């Protein structure tokens, strides 16, 4: 599995690059994880309803091809894009989602924080507040898109949407839970958990 640290990159060209990578891959292509941050952007998934954007803002809205509803990306949020051949791992899609969530839950446990998944609403939650979102697209037995983990960011733009389509859903981040690491440091702590969860089964 190749790890690429891409830094702060615009959303749309990164999404197009994921599509191109997935279209070009074959059964021998190594999986890749891309670690990025994005300038402020709302993304609307395939099931997304525009009315979940509650008010007009200057933040661009991109209609994308991942699963799920609307979410927000911005500086201080770790985004991990996952180009994974899940058949090669011996996992189904639902199992893959659970394994990705478990990597975040295991990371939180390192900091003494109890997180949990939700079978009906993918992601990771702490005391009912969402700290990590998950949305994937399947093509050619492989995934793209991935995971976003709130580290140390301005959460205000979440208040202008129904996050993931849920009215009143609270969001939180590591900083509010007492973790003072920056995005890059959190990425380095998360990677071993992702590697463990994404090993062949």
Q: Domains along the chain?
A: 2-197 (3.30.930.10)
What pLDDT does 127 receive? 96
Number of C-alpha atoms within 13 angstroms, CB side, residue 61?
20
Is 175 annotated to bind ligand?
A: no
Contact 45, 122 (CB under 8 A): no
Give 56's contacts (C-beta < 8 A, 6+ positions apart).
none
Strands 32-37 and 2-8: parallel
> For residue 200, is pLDDT > 70?
no
- Tell me which DSSP letter residue 40 carries: S
Query: Which one from 78, 80, 142, 164 is the annotated catalytic residue?
Result: 164
Is 165 annotated to bind ligand?
A: no
Question: 55 catalytic, yes or no?
Answer: no
pLDDT tens for each residue of 130-160 = 999 999 999 888 999 999 999 999 999 999 9
What pLDDT does 67 receive? 81
> For residue 201, is pLDDT > 80?
no
Is 167 annotated to bind ligand?
A: no
Mean pLDDT confidence for 103-120: 95
> For residue 124, is pLDDT > 60?
yes
Is 134 annotated to bind ligand?
A: yes
Is 46 annotated to bind ligand?
A: no
Is 7 annotated to bind ligand?
A: no
Q: Which residues are paired to 135 by β-bridges? A: 146
What pLDDT does 162 receive? 84
Percent of the chain with pLDDT over 70: 99
């Amino acid at each position: 599995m190749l790890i690429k640290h891409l830094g702060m990159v615009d959303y749309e060209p990164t999404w197009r690059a994921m599509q191109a990578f997935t279209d070009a891959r074959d059964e021998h292509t190594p999986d890749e994880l891309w670690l990025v941050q994005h300038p402020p952007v709302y993304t609307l998934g395939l099931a997304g309803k525009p009315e979940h954007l509650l008010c007009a803002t200057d933040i661009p809205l991109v209609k994308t091809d991942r699963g799920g509803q609307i979410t927000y990306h911005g500086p201080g949020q770790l985004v991990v894009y996952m180009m994974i051949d899940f058949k090669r791992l011996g996992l189904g899609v639902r199992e893959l989602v659970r394994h990705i969530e478990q990597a975040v839950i295991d990371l939180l446990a390192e900091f003494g924080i109890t997180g949990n998944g939700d079978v009906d609403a993918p992601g990771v939650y702490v005391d009912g507040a969402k700290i990590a979102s998950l949305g994937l697209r399947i093509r050619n037995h492989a995934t793209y898109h991935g995971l976003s983990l709130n580290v140390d960011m301005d959460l205000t733009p979440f208040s202008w949407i129904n996050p993931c389509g849920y009215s009143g859903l609270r969001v939180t981040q590591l900083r509010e839970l007492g973790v003072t690491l920056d995005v890059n440091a959190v990425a380095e702590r998360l990677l071993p958990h992702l590697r463990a969860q994404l090993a062949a089964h």
